Amino acid sequence: MDNFSIIEHVTLAINPKFKDWVLFKNGTYIIFDDIASVGNVKDEAIKLMKEYGPVFGGTPAGDFNTIYLTETEGWLVSGHGYGMYTYVHPSELENDTPNDLEIGLFGRSKRNLDGMDPEIIHVNK
C-alpha cells in the first residue's frame, strides 16, 4: 500500500475524538492526548517509537491485542506503549480468513520494523 492509502485507512480507523497522531511508514501510529503540549512532536514520536516499537519476545513488548475495524477494512493491533497501534490491511496477509494470532503477529512485526527504523509519513494535528 502507498502512503496515501495507509493515511486514509488509519484516519478512518482512529476514533474521531483523537485529532493528534503521528503515522510511521509501516502503519504504526501514536495518538497524542495534547500535541500542543509537546515541544517537537516528530522528535517525541520517534523517541516513543524507539522505546516501545521494537518487539522482544517474552516481554510486554511482545504482547498484542487485535481490534476489528468497522469504518474501514482491516484491523488494528495494540500492544506495549500507550496510544500506539498498528494498522493491518487484509491485502497484506496471505490468508483470506486470518485469525487473531495471524493478524496480531503480522501487526507486531510491522511495529517492530517501525521501532527499528522509525520514519514518519504523516502528522495529524
Per-residue confidence (pLDDT) for residue 36, from 0 to 100: 84
DSSP helix/strand/coil, 121: strand
Digit-coded pLDDT (tens) for 71-106: 999 999 998 888 999 999 999 999 999 999 999 999
List, for residues 16-65, the tens digit of each pLDDT value.
Answer: 999 999 999 999 999 999 888 888 999 999 999 999 998 877 666 667 89
Q: How many CB atoms lie within 10 A of CB 118?
A: 21
Q: Provide the grid cell at 22.
A: 503521528
Contacts of 119 (CB under 8 A, 6+ apart): 24, 25
pLDDT for 98-122, tens place per residue? 999 999 999 999 999 999 999 999 9
How far apart CA 95 and CA 122 sit, in angstroms, is 29
Residue 58 corresponds to which cell in the numbers above?
517474552
| Predicted pLDDT of residue 15 | 92
